[in-house]
Every structure is written in C-alpha cells, then in structure tokens.
C-alpha cells in the first residue's frame, strides 16, 4: 500500500495532514525560520542551511530572505539563481529551475492543488504537479506560477502575472491569465530596459 508521501510524489491524490508529511513540513518551516532569522551579512551560513534543505543547488545561488517552502527536497536550482524577497515555493511536487534564473520580489510557485469538487476537497485531499523553469528566465514581481506549468528558456514574464499554462521559450509574456505578448528578437539586444521616449 502506497504511503501518502508516495502518492504525493507520484501526482496522485493524497492527504497532506499525514503524520510523515506533517513532520517533514515542520522541519522545512523550522529551517526556513532559521534562514530568515540570520543576519543579512552571514550569507554563507544562510546558504549552508539552504543546501541542506533543498534537493540540489549549483554554484552562485542567492536567495533574499524571507523564503518559504513546504518541503525543500523537491526544489532543484541551477547555477546563478537569484530570488528577491518573499519567494514562496509549495514544492509538494518537483520544482526544477534552470541556470541564470531571476525571480523578482513576491514570486510564488505552487505545485499544490485541491479538488474542484467540494466533497473531495473537504476530505482533505490534495494533488501536486511539477513546475519547470528553463534557463535564462526572468520572472517579474508578484507573479504566481500554478501547478504543472513549464516556462521555456530565455523567456521574460511581466510583473503581476498569473501563469496557468505553459509559456514557450524566447518570448515576453504577461497578464492574468499570462499570455505571450511577443517573441524576443535581436532588436532587444540594443536595449537594457523597455524602450521609452524621452
């Protein structure tokens, strides 16, 4: 018989209040509390706690506290990862983040979901679907990434977006729900910021 953790990791309905999962979430919460309580100048100490908490990290990652996650061990970070303040990752399923990814303040990644049917939802059932972010991606502030979303390489997501479906590579996307606005072109290499009239 599968444990609730096995069900969670295999994208099947599971009971999140299961004692094993509850214990693991408490561990993650306690570790995040430590990380968020460390004085800002002690980056190495903070990163050592993050390395123990997260599934894997590569060189040159920097997470501005406060940071929150459900379990930690389902999060994989590529090299040169940067997250600004108030990053929240509900990592009930795998969250795979590529190289050179930047998250602005208040970005939230939610692999967790609940049944639409109220009766099933009231039974305490949840599900979790992985999220993948490619290489060289920039996510604007106050963006929410929902379960099962994949974001392609080199893409930029505008602030305040709610991403409910996959976003392809090499585009600018924004909105609620988030949609592709246009492709990124060679002309964009000439501008460090949005083209403006002065």
- Break the chain into its structural domains and give their ranges: 13-183
Task: Let me know the angle formed at the C-alpha of 127 by 122 and 132, rounded to the nearest 5 degrees.
Answer: 150
What are the Cα distances from residue 39, in Å, to 46, 81, 84?
9, 21, 16
pLDDT, tens digit (0-9, with 9 covering 90-100), for 53-100: 999 999 899 999 999 999 999 999 999 999 999 999 999 999 999 999
Hey, how many other C-beta atoms are within 10 angstroms of the C-beta on 25?
Answer: 17
Where in the sequence numbering do the catalytic residues fall? Answer: 114
Superfamily of domain 13-183: Hexapeptide repeat proteins (2.160.10.10)
pLDDT, tens digit (0-9, with 9 covering 90-100), for 151-167: 999 999 999 999 999 99
pLDDT at 191: 78
From the list 173, 150, 175, 140, the residue with the least C-alpha distance to 161 is: 175
pLDDT at 101: 98
Q: Decide if 86 contacts 105 (C-beta within 8 A).
A: yes
Task: Characterize the bridge pairing of strands 14-15 and 102-103.
Answer: unpaired
Report pTM: 0.95
The percent of residues in the chain predicted with pLDDT above 70, rounded, is: 98
pLDDT, tens digit (0-9, with 9 covering 90-100), for 94-120: 999 999 999 999 999 999 999 999 999
Coil, strand, or helix at residue 5? helix
Cα separation of 9 and 79, whole Å? 25
By CB neighbour count within 10 A (0-12 exposed, 13-18 middle, 19+ buried), where does 184 fall?
Answer: middle
| CA neighbours closer than 13 Å in the CB half-sphere of residue 120 | 10
172: DSSP letter: E
Q: What is the DSSP string of 75-97?
A: EEE-TT-EE-SSEEEE-SS-EEE
4: DSSP letter: H
pLDDT at 194: 72
């Amino acid at each position: 018989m599968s444990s609730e953790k096995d069900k969670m990791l295999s994208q099947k309905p599971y009971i999140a209040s299961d004692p094993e999962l509850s214990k693991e979430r408490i561990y993650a919460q306690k570790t995040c509390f430590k990380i968020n309580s460390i004085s800002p100048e002690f980056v190495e100490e903070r990163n050592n706690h993050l390395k123990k908490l997260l599934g894997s990290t590569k060189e040159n990652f920097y997470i501005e506290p406060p940071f929150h996650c459900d379990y930690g061990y389902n999060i994989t970070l590529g090299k040169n990862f940067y997250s600004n303040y108030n990053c929240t990752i509900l990592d009930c399923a795998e969250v795979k983040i590529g190289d050179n990814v930047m998250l602005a303040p208040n970005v939230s990644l939610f692999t967790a979901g609940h049944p639409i049917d109220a009766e099933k939802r009231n039974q305490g059932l949840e599900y979790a679907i992985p999220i993948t972010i490619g290489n060289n991606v920039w996510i604007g502030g106050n963006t929410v990434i929902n379960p099962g979303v994949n974001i392609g390489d080199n893409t930029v997501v505008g602030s305040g977006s709610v991403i409910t479906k996959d976003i392809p590579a090499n585009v600018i996307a924004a909105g609620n729900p988030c949609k592709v606005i246009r492709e990124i072109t060679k002309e964009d290499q000439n501008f460090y910021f949005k083209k403006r009239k002065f």
